[in-house]
Every structure is written in structure tokens, then in C-alpha cells.
């Protein structure tokens, strides 16, 4: 039980696993999973550990997915990419821009691997993975059968997909298919991007601006361990939103196609004057209230207590109850994050 998970989670939380295996292809991943299962051990498949919080030591095998490779097929109106699940996401964004393929620039500097992107349906600055995803390749862990899911079959929602439900623990993602249209349309709806002229802006302008915005407000995990945005932006009913906006007319809010309204979790936390608040070694980041950081040798208990405090304060002030975006991993696998901090 002495294999440290500290290098394998960007929070930098010190926990151990019974065994850690690096898988460079689908067969190695399958073999590691089946070996552990035959031994009655729990298994966790990790990318870069950028969206997990280890609550305790993991009592089984952690498989680090490092299936690499980027293949590009050019067609008349689009590029079609097949990306190995172990590829670093931001490096993929850089690669596409360098090759003259636009469409991922709003998703720059999102931490993690390509294989994790469909699980969360990652998104930022007006774009979600589902806007560019063509398919997801996975293997059924028990049988080793390969399966390709279309984007529709992935059932993408806000930070949600089939991989958080029926396919969780049963399938491993080995590759992601992306379609980038040649007719590029800039998405300039958020933050500094609204200042650009759609007629003259370039994909590189958008990329540089997104990188600047993220670096200005997000801590470097190498300096202060963190898992990026700790909480989801809450989506509430139009009635609840109307009541909230009556008292807080300047609150950032984004009407959704189904009539619900998305709020900015960072703004809600900020209004509670929680920036810099700490519990043990964990703290709310000074520049971005949405990020909880490992300020100095934080334990997972410190992070949970801090998250509970933030959730309570926001709930009491706004009657909006935040939910973690980060996955909480217990001794034998993922646990309900909301219950853990409630």
C-alpha cells in the first residue's frame, strides 16, 4: 500500500494505492483491469488526475491511461481527428492551431487528458466538447469488446455524459473523435473575448486571450495544488433565478435553451467574501473563488471541510446549493461528492 498517488493528482494530496500501472495501449489497460478484478481488487482509471480528490488510500489498482496518438483525416469541409485518450488536452489544442485547424481555441489550458474530456463534457468560454465531438471509442472492461459511441449516444449534458452513469466503471475510453469545420466561426460571448471584432479576430487571438484569462485567475498546480473549478456553475429554474435577480440584479446569469438559468458559482462565492478563507492547509484562491487550493500540505479532510463551509455560506445567502465538479474517490472507488460535503 506504499505507492504514492501524490504525483498522480493535481491537488497534490498525499494518498497511497495498492498498485499503480501505466497503460500505453488498450490491451495493457484491459490486462491490468482484469488482473486486479480477478484478485478482487477495486480499480480506478486515471488520466492526469486533474479532476479528482482522493479522500483516503485507494485499496486497489490505479491504471494511468497513456494511450497516445493523433491521426488527422482532411475532407472538403472539415478535419477529422482521432485522439488517443492519454494525450494532454492543452497540447492537443496547441497542435491543432499549429496545423491551421481552428475550433478548439476556447478550450485552451483546460487541464487533463483527451480521454477525460467526454466524461465531463468539458467546456469553457462558450464551447463544450459536444460541439466538436464526433465519437468516443471505448472498451468494455469485462469482455474487451471495442465500442464506438456517436456524440448523440454519449448523452452529453452540462458537465455530464453517459460515462458518469451506465458506462461508469464498465467501460474505459481509449480514443476520442473530433470534427473541426473549415468554415471557422469565432465564439466570443464570454469575458475578454467580447472585445474582439468577429470580422477580424483570428483563432490565435482567441487562444491567446483564453490563455491570458485562465492564467490571470487560475493558480498553477505546480505551485498550489488544485483541481481547477471545484464547483459546477449551478443551473436553476427561471423562477428561482427571477427571485435571486430581484435582490442581486448584477449577478451574472446565462439563460439556457430549456428555460433554466445558469449562474456563475465563482460570483456567488465571491459575494460571500470567501476568497482567501482557509481550513487547515486548504484555501479558497485569492484570484478565483471557484478554485480551492492546496496551500500548504492540505489533507483531503481540509478540502472537504472548506468545501462544506463554502457550500453552506452560499446556500444560506442565495438559497442556491453548489455541487462539486471534482470527482471524489474513496477507498474502493468514486463516492457521491454532494453527500461528502453536505
- Show which residues are catalytic: 159, 229, 325
Non-local (6+) Cβ contacts of 208 within 8 A are: none
Alpha-carbon span 123 to 120, nearest angstrom: 8
- Cα angle 94-184-259, degrees, rounded to a multiple of 5: 100
On whether the CB atoms of residues 192 and 212 are closer than 8 A, the answer is yes
Helices (H), 58-202: 89-98, 117-120
Distances in Å between the Cα of 320 and the Cα atoms of 235, 287, 316 are 9, 22, 8
Helix (H) or strand (E) holding 205: helix 203-217
Distances in Å between the Cα of 294 and the Cα atoms of 301, 306, 314 are 12, 11, 21
Sign of CA dihedral 160, 305, 240, 285: negative
Helix (H) or strand (E) holding 2: none
Sign of CA dihedral 215, 216, 221, 226: negative
Beta bridge partners of 65: 23
On whether the CB atoms of residues 260 and 238 are closer than 8 A, the answer is yes
3 state DSSP class of 266? helix
3 state DSSP class of 126? coil
Distances in Å between the Cα of 148 and the Cα atoms of 51, 135, 154, 183 are 24, 7, 10, 27
Amino acid at each position: 500500500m506504499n505507492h504514492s498517488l501524490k504525483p498522480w493528482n493535481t491537488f497534490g494530496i498525499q494518498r497511497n494505492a495498492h498498485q499503480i500501472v501505466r497503460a500505453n495501449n488498450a490491451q495493457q489497460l484491459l490486462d491490468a483491469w482484469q488482473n486486479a478484478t480477478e484478485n478482487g481488487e477495486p480499480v480506478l482509471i486515471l488520466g492526469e488526475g486533474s479532476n479528482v480528490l482522493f479522500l483516503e488510500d485507494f485499496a486497489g489498482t490505479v491504471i494511468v491511461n497513456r494511450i497516445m496518438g493523433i491521426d488527422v483525416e482532411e475532407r472538403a469541409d472539415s478535419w477529422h481527428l482521432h485522439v488517443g485518450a492519454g494525450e494532454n488536452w492543452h497540447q492537443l489544442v496547441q497542435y491543432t492551431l499549429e496545423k491551421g485547424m481552428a475550433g478548439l481555441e476556447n478550450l485552451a489550458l483546460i487541464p487533463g487528458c483527451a480521454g477525460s474530456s467526454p466524461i465531463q463534457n468539458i467546456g469553457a468560454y462558450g464551447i463544450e466538447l459536444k460541439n466538436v465531438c464526433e465519437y468516443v471509442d471505448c472498451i468494455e472492461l469485462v469482455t474487451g469488446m471495442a465500442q464506438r459511441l456517436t456524440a448523440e449516444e454519449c448523452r452529453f449534458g452540462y458537465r455530464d455524459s453517459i460515462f458518469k452513469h451506465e458506462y461508469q466503471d464498465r467501460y474505459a475510453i481509449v480514443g476520442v473523435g473530433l470534427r473541426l469545420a473549415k468554415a471557422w466561426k469565432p465564439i466570443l460571448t464570454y469575458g475578454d473575448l467580447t472585445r474582439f471584432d468577429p470580422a477580424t479576430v483570428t483563432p490565435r487571438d482567441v487562444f491567446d486571450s483564453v490563455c491570458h484569462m485562465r492564467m490571470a485567475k487560475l493558480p498553477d498546480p505546480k505551485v498550489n495544488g488544485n483541481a481547477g473549478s471545484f464547483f459546477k456553475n449551478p443551473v436553476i429554474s427561471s423562477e428561482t433565478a427571477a427571485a435571486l435577480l430581484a435582490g442581486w440584479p448584477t449577478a451574472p446569469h446565462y439563460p439556457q435553451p430549456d428555460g433554466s438559468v445558469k449562474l456563475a458559482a465563482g460570483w456567488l462565492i465571491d459575494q460571500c467574501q470567501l476568497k482567501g478563507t482557509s481550513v487547515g492547509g486548504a484555501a479558497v484562491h485569492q484570484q478565483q473563488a471557484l478554485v480551492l487550493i492546496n496551500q500548504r500540505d492540505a489533507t483531503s479532510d481540509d478540502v472537504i471541510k472548506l468545501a462544506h463551509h463554502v457550500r453552506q455560506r452560499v446556500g444560506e445567502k442565495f438559497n442556491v446549493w453548489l455541487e462539486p465538479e471534482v470527482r471524489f474517490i474513496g477507498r474502493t472507488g468514486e463516492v457521491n461528492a454532494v453527500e461528502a460535503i453536505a
